[in-house]
Each structure stands twice: as C-alpha cells, then as structure tokens.
Amino acid sequence: MIDTLFSGVIHGSAYALVAVGMSLIFGVTNVANFAQGSIVAVGMMVACQLGGMGWGFAPTALVVIAVTGVLGFVMNAIVISPLEGRKPIAALLATIGVGQIIDSSLQLIFGTRTRPFPDLLETYNFQLGGLRFGTSDIVMAITAIVLMAALWAFLTYGKAGQAIRATSQDPDAARQMGVPVGSIRNLSFVIGSVLAGISGIFVGLFNQSVNPMNGGTIGMTAFVAATIGGLGSIPGAVVGGLALGVIEAFGISWFGDGAHDLITFGALLLILILRPQGLLGGRDSVHSEPMTGTFVGEARPLFLPWWGNLLLVAAAVAVPFFASDYISGVGTQVAIYAIAAVGLTLISGLSGQTVLGIAGSIAVGAYAVGILTTRQHLPFLLALLIAGLVAAVVASLLTAPVWKLSGHYVAIATIGVGAVTVAIIRLWTPLTNGSLGISGIPMPRVFGQLLYTQQMQLLLDVIVLIFAVAIVSRIHRSQLGATFAAVGADQDAAESLGIRSGAYKALAYALAAFFAGIAGGLLAAQYTYIDPTIFTTTMSTLVLTIIVLGGMNSPLGAVLGSIILIGAPELLRVAADARVIVYGLLLVVIILFRPQGLVVRRRAQ
C-alpha cells in the first residue's frame, strides 16, 4: 500500500517534470505542441549517449540544454512562426509532422535498440519500506518543483516573462507596446524545448531502459497530466503529474496493467467532465483555443459541376479494371482511409471541432464486422451497415457528456474517447476476444459474388467511397450542413441565432463515426484479422491529417488527401530508411505553403 503510493509519487514526479514544459508551451504560446514528447526523447538519447561515454551529470546536462534549445529555436523559426496568424490547428498539425521527423531521425542516429540508461546519478541508494529509490528520484522531484517556482517567478516578475505573457494574450497589442514579438516567441519555444530536454534526462534515469521511439508515449501521458492539472497552469502541471502517477499506481495495482490505458484516459475523461479546467486551472488560463478552429473562414471547397462529378466517378470506377494487384492493394487502403476522412470533414471541417480519436470508431466498425460475419454469419453488406450504426451509437454514448464542454477541451476529450474505446475492446474479452484479436474474417461477399481479388475489393471500396462522398457533399450543401458550418465558423453567433451548437456537434460526430465505422468494417474484411493494436493514436491523427491536407471541409479534398498521405509512404519506398522523415517533411511543407488545403479556393475578401 505504502509502496504503491510511494512508487506512484516517484513516477508522478517524472510526469510532472515533462508536463511543466508541455503546459508552458500550451499556455504561453497557444500551440498544442505534439512534438514535445519527441524533444524529451532527444534529451534522453543525447544524455544516454554522452553518459554512456563516461560524461558526468553536469556536462551532459549542458549539452542537452544546448541541443534542445537550438532545436526549439529552429522549430519555431522554420515551422511555427510562419504559421502565425493562421488558425492554431495548423500549428498543431505541423508539430505532429515535426514529431515524426524527430522520432525517425533519432532512430537513424541512435539505432533501433532499447539500451540501458547510464547511471548519471545514483538510482537505488535509499530505501523506504519495500521500495528503493535514488538520488536521481530526489533530484527529479526537486527539479520539477524548482522549475515550477522559477517559471512562475519569471513569468510574473521577469521582463521577458511579462513580455511572453503579453505576446500570448494579444500579439498585436504587445507589438504596439514595443515588445519584440518574434524574439519573444523564439524565447518561449527555446525555454519549452530546454525543459523537455532536461526532463528527458530524468525520464531516462527513471525508466532505466530507453528507446529512441519512446517520445510519443511520453508526450501523450504528459499531455494527459497537464490537462488533469489544468492546461496552461504551471503549478497545475506538477499537481496533475503527481495525481496521474498516484491514480495510475493504485488503478494498475487493483486492475492490472492491462487496464493501463483505460485508467489513464478514463481519468482524463472523468476530470474533463467533472472539472474541465483541471485541478488548478483558472477559467482563463488558456487565452485562445489551440485545438479547435477550421479553415472554412479562409477558404471554401471546390464543388464540381454535374458533368465533372460524373467524369470523376467514371474514372474512379475505372481504376480497378486497369490497375495491377499492387496499385489495387494500395488503392483499397487509400479508399478506406478516404471514407473515414470524408466523414470527418463534417465534424472537424464544417463544425470546426478537431477530433483526435477517430480510430476508436474505426475499431468499433471493424469489430462489428468481425464479430457479425464470423459468429452471426450475417451477409457482408448488412454487417457493414450495422458496423456504421454501431460505431455512431458507441461514439454518441461515449461523447455524450463532453458536448457541454467548449473548445479544445472537446478535442482533448476525443483523444480520451478514442483510447478508452480501444481499451474497452481489449478488456471485453468474451465479446471481442481481447488481445488475441479476431481471425478468419471472411473476405467480403456481395450479392453472391466473393470478392477474392484486390481489384474486386477495390471496386467495392471505391463504390462505397463514392456513396460516402455523394452523401457527405449533399449534407454540406443542405440546411443541416449550413447549420454545422454556422457552428464551426462562429459558435457564439450560431448560439445567438438559437442553434444549439452542442447538439449539432454531437450529430456531426455521430455521422463522422458512422463513416469511420464503415471504413473499419471494410478494413476488417480486407485484413481478415484484427486486434486492438491496429487502432492507434497514429491512425487517428492520420485521418485528421488527410482532411487538413485536402481542405478541412472538402469531401473531394479528403479523397485527394488520402491518395497523397496513404499512397505516399508506398511511393517513398525508394527512400527506404528516410521514408518516414520524408513523410513528415511533406506534411510540414504542405501545412506551411498550403494550409487551407489542396481542394479549396480562397474565399474572396
């Protein structure tokens, strides 16, 4: 009991340290930096390398500070600051691309293997009850608290600190008051990155074994911790980190580590529902909403004339008849992701609500088809339709409490909903077969015809996609679509016209989940095997990225985005080792130079 509590506190202080940097960037620069975890990994790997060569703690820390500081500066100068004045969601997605570039570069530099972290400080030289701990743990906890205090003092009393806050509140006003806004933003990013780097050293000491790919998980957990404490609140980050550490320790101790994700993200959802501003967050600690917004205000989708649509449909249907097996195989993936993405334009495009957990709905659809076709022996098309409906119902039930929240809290909640959905699938063994997955899912049979070639499956996927695009385009142009757009463009204005924005967002999300469920069903029938590890956060961000690329509210753009983002990794096979890096670069470049998406026109000013 005491041992569990104490181990939770130690682990929590590791979370706290990372969360402080996360909260600083979020609250002060208004950027939800999804590359923060990757920068922690940079600090960790650099320290591992130098420590392994026999360097002491202090020189190692200095080099880590220098490396991550430069990295933060470069990242802001090249990627983030050019996006200033655009919707914050663009910066968020750019940081996802940067994170991919950093993760893959780390893997190229440091290799793929998990390695022991050098004992830069003593790790197990004290004992309390049945638990040993070390100087490293004490220094880590003290560092977290000292950094918290120092940052607070700096932001409150320091000249540069005050300038940082002024810039985040209103960059135009700050500029008029003589604040060098550009330099101040650079400074914020450098501080945030250095914090990440330093915490990397301690996370390495705590974890004992490190791998260059650890960044993603570290970043996501720290983000959860920061949210629990109150995003944008520095003391909140420390409290949130400690709270998450202790909650996880007891939760896992009672339910087993198999329920780890359910506990972590369940805690996130619970806190969002009960106290959305977090344990210590003030209502106004975040000045704008870095995780919401739409590009609808800046651009409008291209809708083609009827003959244009007809030509496109004919061309799309023609592909399976002429494509090789390989092209068809890639094509099925492109079409399936496009179906999920087309649906997502309704909620994330039109209604302006970023959704980061759509993989949960894809998983529900995949499992519905898997279970209905293998156990109930339902015909494929019927199972597919039910899959869409089940996904919509599950998504509606799980998100029901979050629509009373506003802005980016909903976006964060969708991360939790996605993760909790997959965690429930993993734990509900009698229904889903848990981690063992469902195998032997039959290939689709449509009107008596077994679709046994890639071309046949592609034809099915393309036809479903055409229906999806037709229906979603129709919704875009309907009264319902106009209402969604009103909610997305200006929620306050919409409310004042009597539109209940929460209800409409819930409806848009249910529609998106329906299409995601259909996509999942097609996926299950194509893989013939599914298990919970397929439906990751990466899948969620991928679908979101597809529509960002194509134009957030353009169904046709979603198709094009899918062709580029799902097809590109295949085309990039020539680049071998560097292909994930190239992929990340592509994402960043597109967001930098065409942030409104590909298939849209700029709105006439």
Within positions 558 to 587, which residues make up the interface with other proteins, using CB under 8 A?
569-570, 573, 576-577, 579-580
Distances (CA, A) of 344 to 55, 512, 532, 557, 567: 50, 5, 22, 12, 19
Q: Using CA atoms, how far apart are residues 540 and 524, in angstroms rounded to an integer? A: 17
Contact between 116 and other proteins (CB under 8 A)?
Answer: yes
328-347 residues in contact with other proteins (CB under 8 A) are 328-330, 332-333
Whether the Cβ atoms of residue 163 and residue 174 lie closer than 8 Å to each other:
yes
Q: Which stretch binds other proteins (CB under 8 A): 66-74, 188-196, 472-480, 509-517?
A: 472-480
Q: Which stretch binds other proteins (CB under 8 A): 21-29, 181-189, 388-396, 454-462?
A: 454-462
Q: Which is nearer to other proteins, 28 or 316 (CB)?
A: 316
Q: CB of residue 440 vs other proteins: minimum separation in angstroms?
A: 6
70-89 residues in contact with other proteins (CB under 8 A) are 85, 87
252-271 residues in contact with other proteins (CB under 8 A) are 252-253, 256-258, 260-261
Task: Give the per-residue contact string, 210-239, with other proteins (x = CB under 8 A; - = no).
Answer: -x-xx--x----------------------
Candidate list 160, 309, 405, 568; residue touching other proteins; CB under 8 A: 309
Contact between 166 and other proteins (CB under 8 A)?
Answer: no
Q: Using CA atoms, how far apart are residues 342 and 540, in angstroms rounded to an integer? A: 14
Contact between 247 and other proteins (CB under 8 A)?
Answer: no
Return the sign of the alpha-carbon dihedral for residues 12, 15, 17, 23.
Answer: negative
DSSP assignments along 331-377, one per residue? HHHHHHHHHHHHHHIIIIIIT----S-HHHHHHHHHHHHHHHHHTS-
Identity of the amino acid at 558: A
Q: CB of residue 275 vs other proteins: minimum separation in angstroms?
A: 25
Provide the Cα torsion 57, 62, 64, 70; round to 10°: 180
Contact between 149 and other proteins (CB under 8 A)?
Answer: no
Distances (CA, A) of 69 to 85, 98, 247, 293, 468: 24, 15, 33, 30, 46
Q: CB of residue 7 vs other proteins: minimum separation in angstroms?
A: 4
Whether the Cβ atoms of residue 332 and residue 465 lie closer than 8 Å to each other:
no
517-536 residues in contact with other proteins (CB under 8 A) are 526-531, 533-534
145 class by beta-carbon count within 10 Å (0-12 exposed, 13-18 middle, 19+ buried): middle
Per rule CB under 8 A, count of chain residues that contact other proteins:
115
Contact between 422 and other proteins (CB under 8 A)?
Answer: no
Contact between 249 and other proteins (CB under 8 A)?
Answer: yes
Q: Which two tokens stand for residue 330?
A: 């890639």
Q: Which is nearer to other proteins, 27 or 437 (CB)?
A: 437
Q: Cβ contacts of residue 293 below 8 Å, gap of 6+? A: 87, 88, 89, 352, 354
Q: Cβ contacts of residue 517 below 8 Å, gap of 6+? A: 361, 362, 364, 365, 368, 387, 388, 389, 390, 391, 392
Q: Which is nearer to other proteins, 234 or 535 (CB)?
A: 535
Q: Which two tokens stand for residue 437?
A: 């997955």
Which of 188, 193, 146, 191 has the alpha carbon at shortest distance from 166? 188
Q: Which is nearer to other proteins, 87 or 185 (CB)?
A: 87
Candidate list 277, 473, 540, 554; residue touching other proteins; CB under 8 A: 473
Contact between 19 and other proteins (CB under 8 A)?
Answer: no
Candidate list 150, 153, 310, 382; residue touching other proteins; CB under 8 A: 310
Q: Which is nearer to other proteins, 66 or 436 (CB)?
A: 436
Candidate list 209, 282, 500, 601; residue touching other proteins; CB under 8 A: 209
Candidate list 359, 466, 513, 588; residue touching other proteins; CB under 8 A: 466
Contact between 175 and other proteins (CB under 8 A)?
Answer: no
